[in-house]
């Protein structure tokens, strides 16, 4: 009887253990399910909630989240150049128009032959290309005086500092040539010469230099001093009382004696000294063939040979030399010839 009671107790205990396992197991399985959701939620939060988290492919054993898809060939395939048109509205700027059509500013400047973006007029019609690039004139070779082959054209282009994005590696040139052929519908071999009917060629994905673009947009130079303009660039009557008109090669910016004068653009000081006409003055050479003159200073705070940054103090306003009162005479030279500073000041 005692042995029977013992077996009965053992049987009851085993049943209790089995029931407990059966009851506990579903709870553990259910509790484990939310964990991946929490991880996915955290990952999405880390990514800004912008994408979906791919599940693992348990059958193949590969992680779908690490696979990549090759972009369609049409995305990078060279395409023919096409134009639409846009009429300039009140308040438009070349930068805003470029952003509207997802183009580089230099592209619009180049294809529309814009030399000064500040002169754009309301109602003026612009050509809008379907891709970025620049329009380049086909010119005869300097030595042979013949029209170039496509290969020679590309070689000349690669040496021109006015453009950015031209391939430098030899193995990249065939694809570059193909893009030019497709854009312009040129049915010619790279060693075949251009015909006289081809005046300009569109070069896809090439940009104008930043300096050229700044020049066209009129924001290449900082104002060298705070004040107001008393004499502009161009012809004027002699300020010393003469009846004749004379050419004034810069801007006169009137300001109090001692007003700081800064470099209008980064460059190297090539002269810092005195002359009877300009008094104490500074000359700075810049990239792109530019040179600037700062005249009639009361004091010079730099010296020849130093490199100065844009806005760096180089002197103070004065009335030295041939002057009628405290002011800064500011002249800009481009390749040795004076240009109107107002067209280049930000």
| pLDDT tens per residue, range 211-226 | 889 889 888 899 999 9
Mean pLDDT on 292-320: 97
The answer to which of 1-10, 71-80, 312-321, 336-345 has the lowest mean pLDDT is 1-10
Between 62 and 219, residue with greater pLDDT: 219
Query: Which pLDDT does position 167 carry in this prediction?
Result: 86
| pLDDT tens per residue, range 224-246 | 999 999 999 999 888 777 777 88
Mean pLDDT on 26-50: 41
Pick the CATH number of 83-217 from 3.30.70.270, 3.40.50.300, 3.10.350.10, 3.40.190.10: 3.10.350.10
| pLDDT tens per residue, range 120-154 | 999 999 999 999 999 999 998 888 889 999 999 99
* pLDDT value at 262 more than 60: yes
Mean pLDDT of the chain: 82
pTM of the predicted protein model: 0.63
* pLDDT value at 23 more than 60: no
- In the chain, the percentage of residues whose pLDDT exceeds 90 is 56
**In the chain, where are the structural domains located?**
83-217, 228-343
Q: How confident is the model at residue 29 (pLDDT cuts 50, 70, 90)?
A: very low
Q: Which two tokens stand for residue 209?
A: 């230099």
Query: Which pLDDT does position 39 carry in this prediction?
Result: 40
CATH class of 228-343: mainly beta
* pLDDT value at 308 more than 80: yes
């Amino acid at each position: 009887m005692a042995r029977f009671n013992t077996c009965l107790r053992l049987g009851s205990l085993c049943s209790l253990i089995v029931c407990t396992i059966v009851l506990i197991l579903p709870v553990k399985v259910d509790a484990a399910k939310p964990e991946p959701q929490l991880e996915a939620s955290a990952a999405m939060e880390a990514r800004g909630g912008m994408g979906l988290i791919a599940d693992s492919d348990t059958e193949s054993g590969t992680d779908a989240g690490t696979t990549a898809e090759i972009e369609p060939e049409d995305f990078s395939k060279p395409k023919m150049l096409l134009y639409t048109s846009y009429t300039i509205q009140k308040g438009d700027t070349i930068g805003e128009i470029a952003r509207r059509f997802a183009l580089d500013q230099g592209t619009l400047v180049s294809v529309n032959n814009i030399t000064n973006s500040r002169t754009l007029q309301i109602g003026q019609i612009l050509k809008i290309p379907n891709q970025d690039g620049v329009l380049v004139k086909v010119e005869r070779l300097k030595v042979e005086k013949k029209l170039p082959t496509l290969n020679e054209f590309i070689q000349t282009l690669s040496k021109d500092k006015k453009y950015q994005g031209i391939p430098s590696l030899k193995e990249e040139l065939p694809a570059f040539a193909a893009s030019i052929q497709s854009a312009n519908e040129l049915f010619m071999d790279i060693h075949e010469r251009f015909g006289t009917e081809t005046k300009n060629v569109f070069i896809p994905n090439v940009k104008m230099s930043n300096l050229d673009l700044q020049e066209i947009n009129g924001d290449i130079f900082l104002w060298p001093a705070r004040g107001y303009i008393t004499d502009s660039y161009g012809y004027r009557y002699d300020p010393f009382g003469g009846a004749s008109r004379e050419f004034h090669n810069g801007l006169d910016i009137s300001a109090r004696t001692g007003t700081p004068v800064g470099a209008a653009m980064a460059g190297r000081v090539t002269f810092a000294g005195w002359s009877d006409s300009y008094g104490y003055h500074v000359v700075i050479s810049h990239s792109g063939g530019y040179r600037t003159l700062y005249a009639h200073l009361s004091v010079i705070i730099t010296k020849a040979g130093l490199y100065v940054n844009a806005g760096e103090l180089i002197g103070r306003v004065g009335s030295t030399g041939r002057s009628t009162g405290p002011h800064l005479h500011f002249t800009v030279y481009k390749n040795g010839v004076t240009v109107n500073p107002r067209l280049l000041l930000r």
